Structure 1
Amino acid sequence: MARRLRPVDLGFVGAAPVRLVFAREVSASPEQVFRALAEDLPGWTQWFPTVALARSTDGGAGREIRLRGGTRLVETVLVAKEPEVYAYRVDATNAPGIRALVEEWRLAPRGTGTRVQWTFAADGTAPFRWVFRLARAGLGRTFRDAVTSLDRRLTRA
């Protein structure tokens, strides 16, 4: 069954013991990217390779996420400020070792496109923090591939 995590706020993004930050520029506008992140949750399965299911809960105030491999996440949306920032906190998960986790997506105009920045802010047991830091390269590749796929999806039309 899922374990409850510590309820942190958006300030945790800057104060977390472990922070991984990735950025990439895309052709799509900030508004397009924001809508894909915040409003088209089922669409995440089409562009984010590790996401097997994504759905909105509580009238958009929450999210249910299932990752390939069986990890489940119940989340609360902390901020959805179009087109600048979308962030959510993990409230419960079946993943071991995590005590607190916030993901933040920041979007900034770059020419006719967008600079997308994704921050993982986490706390957990010592083994979790060690593994999380080791996962930086893999998460970076996943982010790069996902955002590239999202950009293709948004600019096809």
Structure 2
Amino acid sequence: MHPCERVGIDYVDSAPHRFTNSVDLAITPEQLFQVFADAEAWPRWATVIRHVEWTSPLPPGVGSTRVVSMLGGLKGAEEFLLWEPGRRMGFRFNEASERSIRAFAERYDVEPKAQGCRLTWTLALEVNGPGKHLMPLSGLVSNLSFRWFLRRLRRYTDERFATVS
């Protein structure tokens, strides 16, 4: 593992590369945080994620840590900078298996709605090396994936929290 810059949560508003997408979910903000805390849920909707392991005691909170394993062998050792159930959460990579990741952070903002909640997900990063020059193109492709992940999250939460009438 290689160290990443230990950015603060404000990094998601100032990073060189930022991706923000939203989705309306037919669940409560509290139910969404059940999904966020569930290590087995992440690969179900964010299919780039293969495995999530909490490396600190649950329930999660500020300072909690986990390791996320992704497609292509990428691993990120994450530390939670925000954990406000029903409102927002965010984390950064403290270390990554790829030396090219200089800094990485995500923030999830949740807004209650009459029929559920709206999730706004912001992913922010900076890369070193040749990948830095490819970010404009790879970023467009990545952002399409992030939108697809949110559609999958909607399907997953619809199924997970379906009620029988």
Name the SS for the 2:104 alignment partner.
Answer: strand
My pick for the range that moved more, 112-121 or 134-143, is 134-143
Report percent identity of matched pairs: 20
| Larger Cα-atom Rg | 2
Distance in 1, matches of 2:5 and 2:138, equals: 18
Corresponding position of 1:90: 93
Distance in 2 (CA, whole Å) between partners of 1:72 and 1:154 is 27
Residue correspondence of structure 1 range 1-157 to structure 2 within 5 A: 2-37=1-36, 39-59=37-57, 60=60, 61-125=64-128, 126-127=132-133, 129-134=135-140, 135-145=142-152, 147-157=153-163
Unaligned runs of at least 5 residues, structure 1? none
TM-score by length of 2: 0.84
Contact 1:97 1:128 in 2 (8 A): no
Shift of 1:132: 4.3
Deviation, structure 1 residue 46: 2.8
Count the aligned residue pairs: 154
Q: What letter is aligned with 1:152?
A: D
Q: Distance in 2 between matches of 1:139 and 1:111?
A: 25
Residue 152 of structure 1: how far off its partner (Å): 2.1
* Separation in 1, partners of 2:35, 2:5: 28
C-alpha deviation, 1:84, in angstroms: 0.4
Contact 2:45/2:150 (<8 A) preserved: no
Alpha carbons 2:45, 2:149 under 8 Å: kept: no
How far is the alpha carbon of 1:108 from its aligned partner? 0.7
CA distance in 1, matches of 2:114, 2:15: 32
Partners of 1:132 and 1:63 in 2: CA distance: 26
**Secondary structure in structure 2 of the residue aligned to 1:58:** coil
**Which letter does structure 1 place at the counterpart of 2:84?**
K
RMSD (CA atoms): 1.8
Gaps of 5+ in 2: none
Distance 1:30 1:156, change over 3 A: same
